[in-house]
């Protein structure tokens, strides 16, 4: 990692951990903590979708794994008394394992065929949570406690959220930290030998296979990492809302996760982060125009994809080339 990137990372950390909270407190708009928390967690799920794009697959089923991760965390907390921080990696791992069983047959499909199969996953997961007794059907799982503290060897790493004067600040810090870790992992994957092999799948799978690349292993591995991100995001949302329902994540959410990647830029690791921020706040701004909201929203997306097919971040590349 060169000095320029390290400088950008340092500035970003100062901005999200110090400048943003200061500006929110000065403005008195404490509701922005929840808004930015949601953006951070949605961007984690979108980062997983971006990773499947990286191997040449269009993933429109991330909502299924966010829902699964949320229910795993909620069940472990409500029925077995687990600490939320313990359920977080368990939810991610459950989704990763689940994605292996789902991915083995469907990852053989290409292009629109894989996309259409993943499109039904979220609805299948929703119907599953409606039918299973352990998920409590349409009633969902509610009245979950706020995350308790976490101690390791007597050292308090995370305070009990119920003791905080403003838990929204705690959730914001949690979401931002998880997002930074997720994108650091994503960046490391892309810039490793694994990332270079994944890029070869995106370009030509037959050629990659002919030179000894285990394409099946790479596809399944990247899909499981993608689903792990989705499970982590879903479990985190459960902690914030203290509840989960079969409708907590729907097909529209899966589509938005994909759009976040397109909007930010499929060729950029941090594209999903920027895309999530723009789509989330852009949709809220368009709410003011009432019945024309969807028309303007769709038109803007089409225009952006026509004139910026590589996403908003491609604008910086154009400036550097001049």
Q: What are phi and psi of 154, to 5 degrees?
A: 80, -5
Alpha helices in 267-313 (DSSP H): 271-286, 293-307
Any idea what the CATH number is for the domain that residue 250 is in?
Answer: 1.10.3470
Does residue 106 lie in a domain region? yes
Q: Which residues of 276-301 are buried (b: 16+ CB within 10 A; e: fewer)?
A: bbbbbeeeeebeeeeeeeeeebeeee
User: Which tokens in the block code for residue 276?
Assistant: 């999530």
User: Is residue 15 in some structural domain?
Assistant: no
Is 21 part of a structural domain of the chain? no
Are 34 and 171 in contact, with CB atoms under 8 Å apart?
yes
By the 8 A CB rule, do 168 and 33 touch?
Answer: yes
Q: What is the pLDDT along the chain (322 residues), one digit of tens a residue?
A: 577 888 888 999 999 999 999 999 999 888 899 999 999 999 999 999 999 999 989 999 999 999 999 999 999 999 999 999 999 999 999 999 999 999 999 988 877 788 889 999 999 999 999 999 999 999 999 999 999 988 877 788 888 998 988 899 999 999 999 999 999 999 999 999 999 998 888 888 888 888 888 888 999 999 999 999 999 999 999 999 999 999 999 999 999 999 999 999 998 999 999 999 998 888 777 777 777 788 888 888 888 878 888 888 888 765 555 5
Residue 201 lies in a domain: yes
Judge contact between 231 and 40, C-beta under 8 A.
Answer: no
Domains in the chain, number: 1
113/60 Cα distance (integer angstroms): 11
**Residue ranges making up the domain that contains 102:** 31-321
Q: Is 18 inside any structural domain? A: no
- Retrieve residue 157's tokens: 């790493």
Question: What element of type H or E holds 201?
Answer: helix 193-203
Within-domain flag for 198: yes
Asked, for residue 2, whether it belongs to a domain, the answer is no
Cβ(278)–Cβ(297) under 8 Å? no
- Asked, for residue 210, whether it belongs to a domain, the answer is yes
């Amino acid at each position: 990692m060169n000095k320029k990137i390290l400088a950008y990372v340092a500035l970003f950390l100062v901005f999200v951990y110090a400048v943003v909270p200061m500006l929110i407190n000065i403005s008195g708009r404490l509701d922005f903590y929840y808004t930015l928390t949601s953006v951070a967690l949605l961007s984690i799920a979108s980062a997983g979708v971006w990773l499947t794009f990286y191997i040449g697959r269009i993933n429109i089923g991330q909502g299924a794994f966010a829902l699964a991760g949320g229910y795993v965390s909620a069940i472990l907390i409500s029925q077995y008394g687990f600490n939320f921080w313990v359920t977080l990696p368990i939810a991610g791992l459950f989704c990763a394992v689940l994605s292996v069983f789902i991915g083995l047959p469907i990852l053989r499909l290409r292009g629109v065929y894989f996309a259409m199969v993943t499109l039904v996953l979220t609805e299948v997961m929703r119907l599953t949570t409606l039918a299973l007794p352990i998920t409590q059907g349409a009633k969902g799982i509610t009245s979950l406690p706020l995350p308790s503290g976490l101690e390791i060897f007597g050292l308090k790493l995370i305070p009990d959220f119920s003791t905080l004067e403003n838990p929204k600040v705690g959730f914001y810090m949690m979401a931002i930290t998880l997002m930074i870790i997720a994108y650091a992992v994503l960046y490391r994957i892309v810039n490793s030998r694994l990332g270079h092999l994944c890029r070869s799948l995106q370009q030509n799978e037959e050629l990659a296979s002919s030179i000894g690349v285990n394409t099946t292993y790479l596809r399944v591995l990247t899909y499981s990492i993608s689903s792990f991100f989705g499970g982590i995001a879903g479990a985190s949302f459960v902690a914030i809302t203290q509840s989960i329902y079969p409708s907590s994540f729907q097909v529209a959410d899966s589509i938005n996760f994909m759009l976040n990647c397109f909007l930010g830029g499929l060729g950029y690791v941090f594209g999903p982060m920027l895309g999530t921020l723009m789509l989330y706040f852009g949709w809220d701004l368009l709410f003011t125009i009432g019945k024309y909201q969807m028309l303007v929203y769709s038109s803007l997306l089409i225009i952006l994809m026509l004139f910026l097919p590589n996403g908003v971040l491609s604008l910086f590349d154009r400036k550097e080339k001049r």
